[in-house]
């Protein structure tokens, strides 16, 4: 990893770290994420973001297994890489590769032209969330502050 490479910690903000979110479906959770991100980054259109996340899911689920999903997309008006972390109050169907319900999502939104950063961060995320102990620590968090700190300290 080079000095200029982005880290998961660098792209995650406390405002986009949500703990114990109730979710009834993949669509509802992606709508919620789009709304939260658009509120934090007004230059991004909520509907465009939602539509891009859904379009990516149609290509194949971003559920990587063991209750984890990494929804992601590239956006035209996005100026910098954004991450959002959510734990759900209960798992939801996500068409994951292991058919298990998803209860942890890390959403990655990158500028349209940021191909290498996009791939590098997806790789980092997949590696990080492949660590069962790390995921269990996230699931144990009682609130968003604790969840954010757990990621920052890892």
Report whether 61 contacts 95 (CB < 8 A).
Answer: yes
Overall average pLDDT of the 133-144 stretch: 97
Domains of the chain and CATH, by start: 8-152 (3.40.930.10)
Residue that the structure tokens 């590098």 belong to: 120
Overall average pLDDT of the 2-14 stretch: 76
Question: pLDDT per residue over 52-67, tens digit each?
Answer: 999 999 999 999 999 9
Overall average pLDDT of the 112-126 stretch: 86
> Mind telling me the catalytic residues?
72
Q: Which two tokens stand for residue 46?
A: 């909520």
Residues 46, 104: Cα–Cα separation, whole Å: 21
Where does residue 136 rank: exposed (0-12), middle (13-18), buried (19+ CB within 10 A)? exposed
Share of the chain above pLDDT 70, in %: 97
pLDDT at 3: 36
Q: Which two tokens stand for residue 82?
A: 């954004």
DSSP 19-55: EEE--S-HHHHHHHHHHHHHHH-TTS-HHHHHHHHHH
């Amino acid at each position: 990893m080079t000095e200029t490479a982005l880290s998961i910690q660098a792209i995650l903000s406390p405002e986009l770290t949500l703990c114990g979110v109730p979710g009834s479906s993949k669509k509802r959770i992606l709508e919620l994420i789009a709304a939260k991100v658009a509120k934090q980054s007004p230059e991004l259109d909520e509907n465009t973001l939602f539509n891009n996340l859904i379009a990516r899911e149609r290509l194949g689920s971003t559920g990587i297994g063991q209750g984890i999903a990494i929804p992601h997309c590239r956006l035209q008006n996005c100026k910098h890489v954004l991450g959002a972390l959510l734990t759900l109050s209960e798992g939801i169907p996500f068409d994951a590769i292991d058919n298990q319900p998803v209860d942890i999502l890390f959403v990655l939104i990158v500028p349209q032209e940021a191909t290498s950063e996009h791939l590098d961060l997806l790789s980092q995320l997949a590696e990080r969330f492949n660590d069962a102990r790390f995921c269990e620590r996230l699931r144990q968090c009682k609130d968003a502050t604790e969840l954010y700190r757990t990621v920052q300290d890892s």
